[in-house]
């Protein structure tokens, strides 16, 4: 399987979103049907974007293909708001060219109508719990949660056009699985969009079906407060649909609440300008003297929902709607050309590139080199300016200088004549 990541970062001049969505193409060895998974159209519905983020990171397609956009409305996701430029899911019949969402909506429409796509799902967390008859203010026909939303029963003469049948099978699969509570059971909600629902005529799924692309929305409930539960239901729903579409896959974890919870707190790494890699899962809330450019820094995340918000005095690191760390910068020109050092890691010599994150069992030493000065942050020496040629272990560091809350990870920084060259991130086991 291949994953092709195309990251479109656009800094739009006057109008327009700052963060463009990412597109992941996941192809099996064997050809087959293609499902397009769209997450994050509403920024305050994290079940809808953390689920596709896990698909991208932990699934391998064997037969058929996936196209995944986990973060359609990324600017709204980082603010945890439905839509900072208005409701994006009401912009699919018409959108003004000067609408900040124009570029995103135009781009996603072109992906939806791509001839290779067989089916589209749009992931949400919806209000309440959908029931076909009125039970209470939370359980009623006007609610959206725990339902598969279809605009009509069928799209005639289109492969997978029997939306009613497909979603009925998905409900049955979910309701036969182990739900965290009985009242979390799923239903099919038909909005009869063409005849009855003027609002839904502006939606993504209606745009798709009027272009003869089968589409539905998966809504877990906003009233389920635990993210892991919503994500579990989204993944179970996606898998039920994959089965129907004969798209086969492997995943590298068991689909249980415990495992989903564990994966949701794995934030991966952030690499800054290719010179410093910061592990994020256990990073301290605030990190000081982080070397970077005054402007236009390159922040590369391993997590599909990773991004930064510029807050002036610091950069707020986000994974989706979750604030992970504040980085207070120290500015350098970064003209230094050195890219690597030789180090002794547990007694073995090896070349380590700046920007690398290494694990050390016991001891670490940078081999002396005229090309740079070494600063082991949190390690104090009185008699020398450069800290190369010194073998160190974890207990040699002052714990408050660690990068992580667990006090295992420290940084070796390299300088040339006062300019910053790069960092080797060292985690002691
Ligand atoms: Zn929504």
Mean pLDDT by 10 residues, the chain (429 residues): 48 64 97 98 98 98 98 97 96 95 97 98 98 97 97 95 98 95 96 87 95 98 97 98 98 97 98 98 97 94 97 96 98 92 96 97 95 93 86 96 97 94 97
User: What separation in Å is there between the alpha carbon of 261 and the centre of ligand 1?
Assistant: 22
User: What separation in Å is there between the alpha carbon of 187 and the centre of ligand 1?
Assistant: 17
Instruction: For the chain, give the longest Cα–Cα distance.
Output: 82
Give the contacts of 387 (CB within 8 A, at least 6 positions apart). 366, 374, 375, 376, 379, 381, 412
User: What separation in Å is there between the alpha carbon of 156 and the centre of ligand 1?
Assistant: 27
Q: What is the pLDDT of residue 347?
A: 95
Nearest CA to 241 among 146, 163, 179?
163
Classify residue 400 by burial, with Cβ atoms within 10 Å: 0-12, 13-18, 19+.
exposed
Assign 120 to helix, strand or coil.
strand
Q: What is the pLDDT of residue 146?
A: 98
User: What separation in Å is there between the alpha carbon of 213 and the centre of ligand 1?
Assistant: 20
Cα(51)–Cα(48) distance, integer angstroms: 6
Q: What is the pLDDT of residue 382?
A: 79
Give all strands of the β-sheet with 315-319 in edge-to-edge order: 286-292, 322-331, 315-319, 306-310
Q: What is the pLDDT of residue 198?
A: 83
User: What separation in Å is there between the alpha carbon of 424 and the centre of ligand 1?
Assistant: 42
User: What separation in Å is there between the alpha carbon of 71 and the centre of ligand 1?
Assistant: 13
Cα(123)–Cα(241) distance, integer angstroms: 13
User: What separation in Å is there between the alpha carbon of 70 and the centre of ligand 1?
Assistant: 14
User: What separation in Å is there between the alpha carbon of 110 and the centre of ligand 1?
Assistant: 21
Helices (H), 39-128: 47-58, 74-79, 102-112
User: What separation in Å is there between the alpha carbon of 60 and the centre of ligand 1?
Assistant: 27
Cα(107)–Cα(116) distance, integer angstroms: 16
Q: What is the pLDDT of residue 3?
A: 54
Q: What is the pLDDT of residue 11?
A: 41
Cα(368)–Cα(307) distance, integer angstroms: 36
DSSP-assigned letter for residue 370: T
User: What separation in Å is there between the alpha carbon of 129 and the centre of ligand 1?
Assistant: 14
User: What separation in Å is there between the alpha carbon of 220 and the centre of ligand 1?
Assistant: 9
Task: Encode burial over 358-371: b for 16+ CB neighbours within 10 A, e otherwise.
Answer: bebeeebbbeebee
User: What separation in Å is there between the alpha carbon of 89 and the centre of ligand 1?
Assistant: 8
Q: What is the pLDDT of residue 12?
A: 41
User: What separation in Å is there between the alpha carbon of 180 and the centre of ligand 1?
Assistant: 22
User: What separation in Å is there between the alpha carbon of 47 and the centre of ligand 1?
Assistant: 10
Q: What is the pLDDT of residue 247?
A: 98
Q: What H or E segment, with its residue span, contains residue 204?
A: helix 204-210
């Amino acid at each position: 399987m291949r994953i092709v990541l195309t990251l479109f970062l656009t800094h739009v001049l006057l109008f327009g979103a700052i963060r463009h969505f990412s597109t992941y193409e996941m192809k099996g060895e064997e050809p087959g049907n293609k499902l397009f998974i769209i997450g994050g159209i509403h920024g305050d519905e994290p079940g809808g974007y953390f689920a596709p983020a896990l698909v991208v990171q932990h699934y391998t397609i064997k037969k058929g293909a996936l196209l995944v956009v986990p973060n359609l409305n990324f600017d709204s996701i980082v603010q945890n708001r439905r839509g900072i430029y208005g409701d994006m899911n009401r912009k699919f019949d018409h959108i003004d060219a000067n609408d900040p969402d124009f570029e995103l909506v135009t781009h996603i429409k072109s992906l939806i109508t791509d001839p290779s796509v067989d089916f589209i799902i749009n992931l949400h967390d919806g209000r309440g719990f959908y029931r076909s008859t009125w039970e209470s203010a939370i359980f009623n026909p006007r609610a959206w949660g725990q339902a598969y939303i279809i605009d009509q029963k069928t799209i005639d003469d289109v492969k997978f056009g029997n939306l009613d049948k497909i979603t009925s099978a998905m409900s049955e699969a979910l309701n036969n699985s182990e739900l965290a509570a009985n009242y979390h059971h799923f239903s099919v909600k038909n909005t009869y969009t063409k005849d009855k629902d003027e609002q839904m005529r502006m939606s993504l799924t209606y745009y798709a079906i009027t272009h003869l692309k089968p589409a539905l929305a998966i809504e877990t409930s906003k009233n389920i407060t635990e993210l892991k539960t919503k994500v579990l239901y989204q993944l179970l729903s996606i898998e039920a649909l994959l089965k129907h579409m004969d798209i086969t896959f492997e995943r590298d974890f068991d689909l249980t609440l415990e495992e989903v919870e564990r994966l949701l707190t794995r934030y991966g790494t952030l690499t800054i300008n290719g010179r410093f890699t910061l592990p994020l899962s256990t990073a301290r809330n605030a990190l000081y003297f982080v070397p970077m450019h005054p402007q236009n820094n390159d922040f590369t995340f391993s997590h599909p929902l990773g991004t930064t918000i510029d807050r002036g005095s610091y950069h707020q690191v986000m994974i989706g709607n979750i604030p992970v760390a504040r980085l207070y910068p120290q500015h350098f020109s970064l003209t230094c050309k050195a890219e690597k050092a030789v180090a002794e890691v547990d007694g073995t010599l090896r070349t380590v590139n700046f920007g690398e994150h290494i694990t050390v069992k016991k001891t670490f030493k940078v081999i002396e080199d005229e090309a740079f000065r070494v600063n082991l942050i949190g390690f104090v020496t009185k008699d020398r300016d450069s800290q190369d040629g010194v073998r160190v272990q974890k207990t040699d560091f002052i714990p408050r200088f660690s990068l992580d809350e667990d006090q295992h990870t420290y940084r070796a920084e390299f300088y040339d004549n006062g300019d910053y060259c790069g960092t080797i991130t060292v985690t002691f086991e």
